[in-house]
Structures are given as structure tokens and as C-alpha cells.
């Protein structure tokens, strides 16, 4: 199964991808995670994209498309993949549609006013990337990952100003992909304003 998770910041794409990956045993490819790893490792790519991510702007289409094409050519993506956070612009979607075979899209729907709460309470494990939330999915011990004992951190773009900018960027550049994919592929809406287990159940039901 080739799957795209489309939706605004904080909708739960990363949270659902983690469950889908375990269920279907296909890789979770998050462009945001790839950029953040590059920043953490201080690579040339990381240096180039750091200020863009911190401000909640988008990395250029050329760079992002090349990176995803390379990632999809790796052996573990041959039996399927979950794309989380890509495509995010019409040019990215057109480039992807040209190289992809059949694919499905989950359209994650969440009102903007809920996004700010979701993201300001998010905590992520520095070591394994597991996603927590101080209210809806707290770790057992504050600041410590349940899965690996790693330290939890707050993403720099989860500050209010960057969140609001990410929402603006989503509306302007990513929301038009809903019409694009409606015409091109099998797309299903997912209501993200429900508890994590109920959302996961909906996702797995839709995917079959």
C-alpha cells in the first residue's frame, strides 16, 4: 500500500503513521523528520533548512522532491510506504503523481483553533521520535520517553508564532491538494477531533 497522509500541522499524521507502520509493516517517511534529523546531525542539508523549519516556512520544491524520490527508490519502500508531510504544494503533488503508481490519500481534518493546543502540548523523544502530549498522551514520567527512556523535547516550530505561520502556509499552499487528490486518487476524510484510539480505529477501518 502506498499512502499519503495529508492534513494541517498537529492533526495527528505522525501519531497515526506510527500505528499504520506497525500494522502494515511499511516504512513511515516523514519529510519533516528527515529535515529535523539533518539539522540535528549538522549536515549541509540541515544547515540549509534550519531557519526555514524554525519559522514554519516550506523548504523548496526542488530540494524536497529530489529527497523524496531518492528515499522512495530504496528497497524498503518497494512494498509500500506512508508519506507524512509530502506532498505539500501543487508542484510537489504533480511531481509525485508522475513517478508514483497507485496510491491512496487520507485527508486529516482538524479545525485550526484545536491545532494550537495540540502543538503547544506536544513532546517528542529526542532518541526514538515517539510523540507524546502533556494532556492527551502523557508519558508516565514527565520528560522521559515510555518506550526508550530518552529525553522529551519541544519542537522549535511549536511556538505560537511559528504554529500560526504553519497554519497560514497550510491554507495557502497545501489545502489546494485536497481537490488535486480528489480528482486523481482514492481519498478518505479522517475526523481528527476525537481521541487517539478512536482516530486509529477509523484509519484502520478505512484502509481495510
CB of 36 to Mg ion, least distance (A): 10
The whole-angstrom separation of Cα 168 and Cα 12 is: 18
As a whole number of Å, the end-to-end CA separation of the chain is 11
**Active-site residue, from 48, 50, 104, 155:** 155
Angle between the N-to-C axes of helices 160-169 and 112-120, in degrees from 0 to 180, rounded to the nearest 10: 140
- Contacting ligand AP5 within 108-147 (CB under 6 A): 118-119, 121-122, 131-133, 136-137
Q: Is 155 a known active-site residue?
A: yes
Complex with ligand AP5: residue 57 or 189, whichever CB lies closer:
57
Using the contact rule CB under 6 A, the part of the chain among 38-46, 58-66, 74-82, 183-191 near ligand AP5 is 58-66
Using the contact rule CB under 5 A, the part of the chain among 8-16, 147-155, 179-187, 192-200 near Mg ion is 8-16
Among residues 6, 56, 81, 187, the one that binds ligand AP5 under rule CB under 6 A: 56
**Active-site residue, from 36, 88, 118, 123:** 88
Contact between 14 and Mg ion (CB under 5 A)? yes
The whole-angstrom separation of Cα 27 and Cα 68 is: 13
Longest alpha-carbon distance in the chain? 46
Instruction: Provide Rg for the chain, Cα atoms.
Output: 16
10 binds, among Mg ion, ligand AP5, none (CB under 5 to 8 A by kind): ligand AP5
- Cross-strand partners of 28: 82
CB of 46 to ligand AP5, least distance (A): 12
The sign of the CA dihedral 133, 137, 140, 146 is negative
Number of residues that bind ligand AP5 (CB under 6 A): 39
Here the contacts of 124-127 (C-beta below 8 Å, separation 24 or greater) are 124/152, 124/153, 124/154, 124/155, 125/150, 125/151, 125/152, 126/150, 126/151, 126/152, 126/153, 127/151
Residues lying near Mg ion in the complex (CB under 5 A) are found at: 14
Residues lying near ligand AP5 in the complex (CB under 6 A) are found at: 7, 9-15, 30-32, 35, 52-53, 56-59, 64, 85-86, 88, 92, 118-119, 121-122, 131-133, 136-137, 157, 166, 192, 194-196, 199
Amino acid at each position: 500500500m502506498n499512502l499519503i497522509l495529508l492534513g494541517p500541522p498537529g492533526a495527528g499524521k505522525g501519531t497515526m503513521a506510527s500505528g499504520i507502520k506497525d500494522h502494515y509493516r511499511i516504512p513511515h517517511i516523514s519529510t519533516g523528520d528527515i529535515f529535523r534529523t539533518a539539522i540535528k546531525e549538522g549536515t549541509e542539508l540541515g544547515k540549509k533548512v534550519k531557519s526555514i523549519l524554525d519559522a514554519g516556512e516550506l523548504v523548496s520544491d526542488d530540494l524536497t522532491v529530489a529527497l523524496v524520490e531518492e528515499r522512495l527508490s530504496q528497497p524498503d519502500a518497494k512494498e509500500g510506504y506512508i508519506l507524512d508531510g509530502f506532498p505539500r504544494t501543487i508542484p510537489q503533488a504533480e511531481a509525485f503523481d508522475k513517478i508514483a503508481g497507485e496510491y491512496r490519500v487520507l485527508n486529516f481534518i482538524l479545525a485550526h483553533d484545536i491545532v494550537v493546543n495540540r502543538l503547544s502540548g506536544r513532546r517528542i523523544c529526542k532518541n526514538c521520535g515517539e510523540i507524546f502530549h502533556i494532556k492527551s498522551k502523557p508519558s508516565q514520567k514527565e520528560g522521559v520517553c515510555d518506550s526508550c527512556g530518552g529525553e522529551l523535547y519541544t519542537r522549535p516550530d511549536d511556538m505560537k508564532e511559528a504554529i500560526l505561520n504553519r497554519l497560514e502556509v497550510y491554507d495557502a499552499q497545501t489545502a489546494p491538494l485536497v481537490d488535486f487528490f480528489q480528482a486523481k486518487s482514492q481519498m478518505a476524510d479522517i475526523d481528527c477531533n476525537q481521541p487517539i484510539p478512536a482516530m486509529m480505529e477509523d484509519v484502520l477501518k478505512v484502509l481495510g
